[in-house]
Structure 1
Amino acid sequence: MPTSTKHQQQQARPSPVLTVDGWNQFPWLVHGFSTRHGGVSSSPSNFTKMKSKDLNLGKVAWDSQRNIAENRSRLLKHLEAESMDLVVPNQIHSDLIHVLGPEYSAARAWTGDGLATNHPDLLLSIQTADCYPILLVDARLRIVAAVHCGWRGTLRRLAKKAVGVMKFRYGSRDRDLWAAIGPGIGACCYQVGQEVRDEFQGQFYYAAKLFTTRWQTATAIQRKYPLLFKHVRNPFGPVHPEVFYLDLAKANAMQLREAGLSVSKIHVASQCTSCHPDLFFSHRRDLGKTGRMMAVIGIRSCN
């Protein structure tokens, strides 16, 4: 498995955008994972008393269209990508990937959860608030892709399919591909039901590596000897329902390895969106009343 690679903040103070260490070697590439900092919105979940307002980049009920437009403009300015067309798909937790070319039209509604292009001046975007954004780069052919992977997209192998699109549509080679898995909800916080666990067990031979099992209520003996009963029920206490925690970052990293990417070229953000209210929106932590981050990637035409 790849080790977690910290995404760097571009300023000493909290930055609107996180970027990937090492990707600055591609001068033609623009990319980033937004945080909640540097915007003009005041979200219901801004309970951290931050000095800056929220950089909400998604169309949510509590925010105005004017604020969202200004926030998106600020993101593009920060990335020095004002001249690029921001492509914002209507995400539906699917495995649908759109390939965009010179015929791209901003008037068209792009419904799906993946975008790919080799066309300059298109800034592909994915919105998240716990799900994982994944950015892909072919450094040789200058091809980029972005996918939105919640548990449904992960179950449908969306990241692996995006690599397949790059290979079969454009001729990408394994050794030229890079991937960045952005901030999302970690295994520390992402509790799922038995039905989700069953679905993954039916699809992936390594599913056991993706889940952590805990007991909903610990007895005194379980608290005293947590390792003893980590995988076995306490025979001296009442039966308590199991709860499962899913590691989506690991699941997607393993899919990218299966797709042929080198471990050294898969960057995984270490931050959990639910654990860091000072940096990220989190749909689960904030009970749905939150904003949206945006992961973006594109090709500059000037290099």
Structure 2
Amino acid sequence: MQRQIQEQAQARASELTLGPVLFNWEPERWRDFYFGIADEAPVTTVYLGEAICFKRAPLFRDHVDAVAERLAAAGKTVVRSTLSEVMSAQERSLVAEVCAEPAVMVEANDGSALLHLRGRPHHVGPFINVYNERTMAVLARGGACAICLPPEMPAEAIAALCIEAATLGVTIETQVFGRLSLALSARCYHARAHDRNKDSCQFICKQDPDGLTLRTLEDQPFLVINGIQTMSYDYLNLIGELADLQRIGVRRFRLSPHSCDMVAVAATFRDVLDERIDAGEATQRLDALGIAAPFSNGFYHGKAGHLWN
């Protein structure tokens, strides 16, 4: 009985979060997506903001306040995300603008944001490489109160960092659903694929709401590109590993938005965290959504990332 009580308390302490939209969606679609999340999705925290390309940020700027207000009215905590790669003066200005917002929790996805956030509570996103205890300790001293680990980390490494996080008072978050970010580049792959340069891309990436699939010479799907970002073709799915992640100390579980039914995805993960359904039934639910790519969990098990264990 005591063990059951502990497990139920642990489930209640587990938060389901929604990462920022990483793709270039039409502004009205972007707005309506978040309105739906506010009204229907069982997530506690929503990350909001442009993390990939600074040129996209103005496209939905007129909707940010309305979306944030709708999410807050629904009881969701809103965290503003910053760019994941910062090189130009324009990109630095965008990061500074987000970090300067009063009374707003910010997720840093690049070292330039850490400079602005030093000394105040903030989150650290998965684009910042936190692979060891010393890095975590440095970030915690700078004000990091929550860290989303890079998605390629195996279970053993996550467990080790959870132990350190407990001593530092830092909450650990991991991505559990969605395509994985594998690399960032100064060059925009989307623009190059259409014989355009980065400055005159004409927002060609909006044609691919879940990224542009790359294929091998044998015509097999291999990777996905999203502007400057290289992503996995497969969708990370750690629905079967949630109990293990809870056991080793992870308390926040991130879903990365895609054009599938994210409300249904969130409800399924929440039902597993609350022990209303088991992982087998949850996997069947996710399969029924008709996601046009396979699931994977290889990285978590210390194997090639695209594998499904």
TM-score, normalised relative to structure 2 = 0.30
Larger-Rg structure? 1
Between 1 and 2, higher relative CO (CA 8 Å, sep ≥ 6) is seen in 1
Greater share of residues in helix: 2
